[in-house]
Amino acid sequence: MFYRCAVLGILGLLASNVPAYGQSCESLNAIGGDGTQVRKIVSAPGMLISRNNYNTDFGVPGGATFDRFVIDLMPEQTAKYNISVYLKYSDGTKDQFYRNSSVRLLEGQPLKIAAIPRRDNQPYQVNVRVGDISTTGHKYSVSVAGCVVEEEFGDAGTSERANDLDRTENTELPPSLEDPNRVENTELPITLEDPNQLH
């Protein structure tokens, strides 16, 4: 299992001669739900793991070639939440991109998490897990968008898809950003701050 956490906004700190990035996004449908957004109240744990409602899965369309997935979680109350995000693959493996058992979220202020798929391999589902016994009764809504990133070159007046996004993951981060628990405080690009851009 790989444990990776993609931090957005790093490219904006690089030199001005680095190409700018834009992206188009498509909202994913929730598995077993109606639509692209799911609202939940964290249930109390049952005798069996399957009896809680902690997990929400979003389906990735067959044949899709997304460069990243953006998870948008909106808390309905100020509280600590237990959150994990996984990309699930058809071979039975999964990659974890975020895990925080006590992240404090403010009511009405979304937490945005980016997850980058493996090179040349798309997941079939994005899993968002929210909840434990200490967060029973907490309310939230969650949605996921698959995004295609384009690399824009001002001089040439053209754009092309950024096929090699691993350079984002390999970018050396300042020490203050190496703690994955700080992901939620990372400033996101303007294109991701407007929820309307995800549809």
How far is Cα 12 from Cα 22, in angstroms, rounded to an integer? 12
* Tens digit of pLDDT at every position of the chain (199 positions): 434 444 333 333 333 333 445 789 999 999 998 899 999 999 987 655 557 899 999 999 999 999 999 999 999 999 999 999 999 999 999 999 999 999 999 999 999 999 999 999 999 999 999 999 889 999 999 999 999 988 655 544 444 444 444 433 333 333 433 444 444 433 333 334 444 444 4
Task: Give the pLDDT of residue 149.
Answer: 87
> Could you give the C-alpha distances from 41 to 1, 10, 115, 119, 135, in angstroms and in order?
29, 34, 24, 35, 9
Spell out a b/e string for 9-32, using b for 16 or more CB atoms within 10 Å of the CB, else e. ebeeeeeeeeeebebebbbbbbee
Fold of the domain built from segment(s) 2-166? Jelly Rolls (2.60.120)
Task: Evaluate whether 197 touches 16 at the Cβ level (below 8 Å).
Answer: no
Query: What pLDDT was estimated at residue 150?
Result: 80
* Amino acid at site 144: V
